[in-house]
Amino acid sequence: MSRASSSGESTRQEHGVRPEWKGKLLRMTSIRDLLGIELPIIQAPMAGVQGSALAVAVSEAGGLGSLPCAMLSLDAMRAELDAIIAGTARPFNVNFFCHSVPVPDLERESAWRNALRPYYDELGIDVSSVPPVAARASFSHETADVLSDSKPSVVSFHFGLPPDDLLQRVRSWGTKILASATTVDEARWLEARGVDAIIAQGLEAGGHRGIFLSEDLTTQVGTFALVPQIVRAVRVPVVAAGGIAAAAGVAAAMALGAAGAQIGTAYLLCPEATTSAVHRTALAGDAARHTALTNVFTGRPARAIVNRLMREIGPISGIAPQFPLAIAAILPLRASAEAQGTGDFSPLWAGQNASGCKEIPAAELTRELVDTVT
Ligand SMILES: Cc1cc2nc3c(=O)[nH]c(=O)nc-3n(C[C@H](O)[C@H](O)[C@H](O)COP(=O)(O)O)c2cc1C
């Protein structure tokens, strides 16, 4: 066989990739190439504690900055997108929740308010002033209308995916789709629906668990058990999330097959984050070493630093209304306690490893996170 024909043969093989090689080759398409970024770091979208400033800083540093939209009105989202586009020409991620909106259950709602009544009395809050609902937006066509002006290069989803027609609409812009999986089954489900990369969210992660195929928390496993199992189960790139706080953790996740890391908690003390004063104090102290999964703040399991409300009526409560209905009754308690300087009723979201939290600019932290990786 001539040299030319043997090289032609190998070219043909690359184009008609054997099925058993496909996963490996796809994963070799690094997350950097896939998302157009320099560093294999995604700043985790964190609703309620950050906006465009953190996203811009991380994207400008070469990672992928993220804008969480779950708590933004459509107007606020438009303004934040404009601020990012004015602040960086680099890729960024826009993040949404995809929960199904529950029907309010009046009996559960009143049981919940009764359980909280002693706290309203203690803080002198008039129960009739408690708002009936506090919204957490689920991705919708109205959201997509706003997004269609900027057509961001990356969109990520938490709690599953939006309905197919909505997903196709986002994909039609050429946008890469990322989504969180907390189990191998969820990762396979996401891959079957065509996501471009999977965020493997281990049990250590701060904030809401992305769990969506089940409500059984015993299915949830730690990052370093989850990542290699998902890497084996799917062909698309896998990004590790949960408990990663420094360059050694990023390198370890990549040694297990991750294409990169999504990091949240470590960014919470950066000046660009909007983390509240009580949250910052908790993160910077010994309290941050004790976190737990709790549903008392929103109705959905999420990891937070253990505080008074979690200790006294949780951390998991059987009467907390379904996500996001539980939020409304907590809001006045939180506001009143925070005004007195305590985080007793605040969701102090944090992962199990707050040791990487530093009061340094997000760009500096992003570069530190890849010190030993690149
Ligand atoms: C304060 C906070 C808020 C979060 N909010 C969101 C969110 O809005 N959307 C989302 O997809 N993930 C959210 N997460 C989860 C992150 O995407 C990610 O899984 C987690 O931060 C990784 O673990 P780590 O915090 O230990 O780094 C949040 C995490 C934290 C700490």
Token representation of residue 99: 């929960």
Question: Please, are residues 239 and 261 in contact by the beta-carbon 8 Å criterion?
Answer: yes
Q: Is 162 in the pocket of ligand 1 (CB under 6 A)?
A: no
Token representation of residue 292: 């737990």
Distance 181 CA to ligand 1 centre (A): 13
- pLDDT tens digits, 242-255: 999 999 999 999 99
pLDDT score, position 154 = 98
**pLDDT category, 126, cuts 50, 70, 90?**
confident
Q: Is 51 in the pocket of ligand 1 (CB under 6 A)?
A: no
pLDDT score, position 373 = 53
Q: Which amino acid type is present at position 223?
A: T
Shortest-distance Cα residue to atom 30 of ligand 1: 207
pTM of the model: 0.92
Distance 356 CA to ligand 1 centre (A): 15
Distance 156 CA to ligand 1 centre (A): 12
Instruction: Name every residue whose Cβ is closer than 8 Å to that of residue 206 and which is 6 or more positions away in sequence.
Output: 46, 264, 265, 291, 303, 304, 349, 350, 351, 352
- Which ligand 1 atom is nearest residue 201's CA? 19
Q: Is 54 in the pocket of ligand 1 (CB under 6 A)?
A: no
- pLDDT tens digits, 291-349: 999 999 999 999 999 999 999 999 999 999 999 999 999 999 999 999 999 999 999 99
pLDDT score, position 134 = 65
Q: At what angle do helices 327-339 and 106-123 cross, to 10 degrees?
A: 10
Q: Is 279 in the pocket of ligand 1 (CB under 6 A)?
A: no
- pLDDT tens digits, 208-222: 999 999 999 999 999
Instruction: Give percent of the chain with pLDDT exceeding 70.
Output: 90
